Each structure stands twice: as structure tokens, then as C-alpha cells.
């Protein structure tokens, strides 16, 4: 395997160019151009629409630092991202383990389908379904009161937990998929070797399986953390008044206030912060794995 990689790189990039070209063209058109436009907007005083006056300014970026509201919200969003990612690990990793190492054949296919089902439903539908479940007199409330002998009021709607539940539900499949892929690549004989050497199941898990599945955990966490920090749909619908986060503020700038330059500037600050966090976390996580 190492040999194959070595000969691959010796042949150089040139033969691969025709294969890469379509992807790069698409990336240029679909991401680079709009993104450059956004960078441009973020330094403008106003949108150049309908002949309005505009000039270059750093004011949009300065706004982030002059008003503590933005950094408070960014901090709240980072915490939300961290919590959702942790819950996804706690729920997704065991599920991936069972899928990859315990289930075989038919039952594995069936459970796998259930796990990726949320991918196939529209995001809004998913969130409004949760709204129906979580609100007072909703499905959860009714069901619990039907079972329990005493009366309780469950109204999770418009609360922080509701936002967490909605986000975890949306993003946990990413964690299951990335962990499933790395776990499946771990040979069962490694587990058996560990056990034959006197290690209990738990010791094998801690010293062999988790270290070897680090790449999946890291990839899954990055895939979840980044979009959750910028999320706005779930916080707005399930969080109500408590659902004001950095992402919802950015969304407001684009769809409600029409202050695109400020929205763009806030987005790039978020991007920078997330990149810094990932860069700081990478070496630590790599050492752990």
C-alpha cells in the first residue's frame, strides 16, 4: 500500500490534471466568485444597488469589536457548537460501533437506513416535526401524561434544550457515518488479538479502537461543529426568543435588515474564528489519535 502511494506521487500531478479540472472549475464558479463578492461587500458602507452612494470602510468589522453583543453571541454559538458536537459523539459513536462491529447482514442494512433517514427529509419539515413533539400539549407532553400517574407539564418549545435536540437530530448522522467508516476499517482480528492478550472489552475499546477511530471522530466533529456554530434555522424555529445566536444575527442582516456588508463582515469573522479553533485543535487531537 505504501509502495503504491509512493509510485503514485512519483508519476506527478500532470496526468491527474484532466481529472481534477472539472472540479476546480466548478469550485471557482460556485464558491470562489460569490465568496470574493462577499469579501468585497464586507468592506462597503452600503450595497451598490439603485444608484446608492457607497465607499470603502472598515466599519463593519469595527462594529463587531465595538458592540459586545456580537462577541457574546459568538461565544454562545461556539458553546452551542461544542455541546451539539459532544452530544453527537455520545450518541453517534456507540451507534456507529454497533453498526460496524455488532450487527451483521440484513439488520445492519435496516438500521443503517434508519440512521441516514433524516438526510432524506427536508430540514424545515424535520424542525417543525420537532416543534410538534416538544411543545406543551404536543406529542411528548401527551404521551408522558398518558403513561405517568401524576400530571406533568412538558413544554420544551422555545428553549435552549429544544435547539440542542433539533440540531443534534439534524447532525448526528454525520458522526455516525464518519465513525462507521473508520470503525469498519478496523480489522476484527485486532479486537481478538487484544482480548487474547488479556485485555477486557473495555480496555480494548480504550486502547485500540478509540485511538484507531480518531480520524472519524475528528472528521465528524469538524463536519458538525462548523455548520452548527453558524446555524440559524433550528435556533429561530425551536428556540424562539431564547434562540438568538450569532447565526441568526447574520441571517437578519441579509433577509431582514438588508445590511449585507455587516452580515458579510460578521460571517468572515466567524470563519476566521472557526479556522483558528480548528488549527489549534488539530495537533492536540492528532496526538490523542
Partner 1 sequence: MAGVQVANVSRSFGAMKALDDVSIDFADGGFYALLGPSGSGKTTLLRQIAGFDFPDAGRIAIGGESVERVPVEKRRIGMVFQNYALFPNMSVADNVAFGLSVRGEAKATIAAEVQRALDLVQLGKLGGRRPHQLSGGQRQRVALARAIVTKPRVLLLDEPLGALDKALRVDMQIELKRIQREIGITTIFVTHDQEEALTMSDRIGILRDGRLVQEGPPEEIYDRPQSEFAATFLGDANIFRGDATGSGIRLQDGTTINAASGASVPAGAKASCAVRPERIQISTGSAKPDRVDANTLEGKVSKRIFAGNSSTYFVDREGQTLKVIVQNTGAERLAEGEPVMLSWSPDSTVLIAA
Which stretches of the chain bind partner 1, using CB under 8 A?
A: 2, 187, 189-190, 192-200, 203, 207-208, 211-212, 289
- Residue 103 vs 208, nearer CB to partner 1: 208
Residue 236, phi-psi category: left (phi > 0), alpha (psi -120 to 50), beta (remainder)? alpha
107 burial (CB, 10 Å; 0-12 / 13-18 / 19+) is: exposed
* Dihedral pair phi/psi, residue 49, rounded to 5°: -105, 150
- Residue 89 vs 208, nearer CB to partner 1: 208
Residue 95 CB contacts under 8 Å (≥ 6 apart), including other chains: 115, 172, 176
Residue 259 CB contacts under 8 Å (≥ 6 apart), including other chains: 253
Query: Least distance (Å) from partner 1 to the CB of residue 87?
Result: 26
Contact criterion met (CB below 8 Å) for 268 and 39: yes
Task: Give the number of other CB atoms < 10 A from CB of residue 79.
Answer: 12
Query: Least distance (Å) from partner 1 to the CB of residue 192?
Result: 6
Q: Residue 89 has which C-alpha cell?
A: 459523539
- Residue 153 vs 196, nearer CB to partner 1: 196
- Residue 88 vs 204, nearer CB to partner 1: 204
- Residue 136 vs 192, nearer CB to partner 1: 192
CA atoms of 78 and 272, how far apart (whole Å)? 13
Query: Least distance (Å) from partner 1 to the CB of residue 124?
Result: 42
Cα of 28 vs its chain's centroid, Å: 24
User: How many H helices and E strands in the chain?
Assistant: 16, 0
Query: Least distance (Å) from partner 1 to the CB of residue 229?
Result: 30
Query: Least distance (Å) from partner 1 to the CB of residue 105?
Result: 12
- Residue 214 vs 271, nearer CB to partner 1: 214
Contact criterion met (CB below 8 Å) for 157 and 135: yes
112 burial (CB, 10 Å; 0-12 / 13-18 / 19+) is: middle
Grid cell 451598490 — which residue? Answer: 48
Query: Least distance (Å) from partner 1 to the CB of residue 187?
Result: 7
Count the residues in the chain.
289
Q: Residue 36 has which C-alpha cell?
A: 470574493
Query: Least distance (Å) from partner 1 to the CB of residue 202?
Result: 10
- Residue 8 vs 289, nearer CB to partner 1: 289
- Residue 72 vs 203, nearer CB to partner 1: 203
Query: Least distance (Å) from partner 1 to the CB of residue 280?
Result: 23
Amino acid at each position: 500500500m505504501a509502495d503504491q502511494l509512493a509510485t503514485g506521487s512519483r508519476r506527478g500531478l500532470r496526468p491527474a490534471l484532466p481529472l481534477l479540472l472539472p472540479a476546480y472549475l466548478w469550485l471557482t464558479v460556485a464558491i470562489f466568485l460569490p465568496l470574493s463578492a462577499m469579501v468585497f461587500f464586507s468592506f462597503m458602507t452600503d450595497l451598490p444597488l439603485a444608484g446608492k452612494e457607497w465607499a470603502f470602510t472598515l466599519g463593519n468589522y469595527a462594529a463587531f469589536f465595538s458592540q459586545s453583543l456580537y462577541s457574546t453571541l459568538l461565544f454562545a454559538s461556539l458553546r452551542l457548537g461544542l455541546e451539539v458536537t459532544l452530544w453527537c459523539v455520545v450518541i453517534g459513536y456507540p451507534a456507529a460501533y454497533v453498526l460496524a462491529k455488532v450487527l451483521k447482514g440484513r439488520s445492519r442494512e435496516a438500521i443503517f437506513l434508519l440512521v441516514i433517514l433524516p438526510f432524506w427529509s427536508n430540514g424545515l419539515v424535520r424542525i417543525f416535526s420537532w416543534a410538534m413533539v416538544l411543545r406543551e400539549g404536543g406529542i411528548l407532553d401527551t404521551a408522558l401524561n398518558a403513561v405517568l400517574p401524576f400530571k406533568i407539564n412538558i413544554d420544551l418549545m422555545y428553549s435552549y434544550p429544544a435547539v440542542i435536540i433539533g440540531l443534534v437530530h439534524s447532525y448526528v448522522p454525520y458522526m455516525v457515518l464518519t465513525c462507521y467508516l473508520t470503525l469498519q476499517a478496523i480489522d476484527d482480528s485486532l479486537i481478538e488479538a487484544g482480548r487474547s492478550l488479556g485485555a477486557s472489552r473495555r480496555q480494548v475499546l480504550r486502547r485500540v479502537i478509540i485511538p484507531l477511530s480518531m480520524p472519524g471522530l475528528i472528521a465528524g466533529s469538524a463536519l458538525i461543529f462548523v455548520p452548527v456554530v453558524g446555524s440559524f434555522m433550528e435556533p429561530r424555529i425551536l428556540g424562539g426568543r431564547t434562540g438568538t445566536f450569532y447565526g441568526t444575527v447574520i441571517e437578519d442582516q441579509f433577509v431582514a435588515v438588508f445590511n449585507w456588508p455587516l452580515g458579510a463582515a460578521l460571517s468572515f469573522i466567524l470563519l476566521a474564528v472557526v479556522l483558528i479553533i480548528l488549527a489549534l485543535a488539530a495537533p492536540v487531537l492528532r496526538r490523542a489519535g
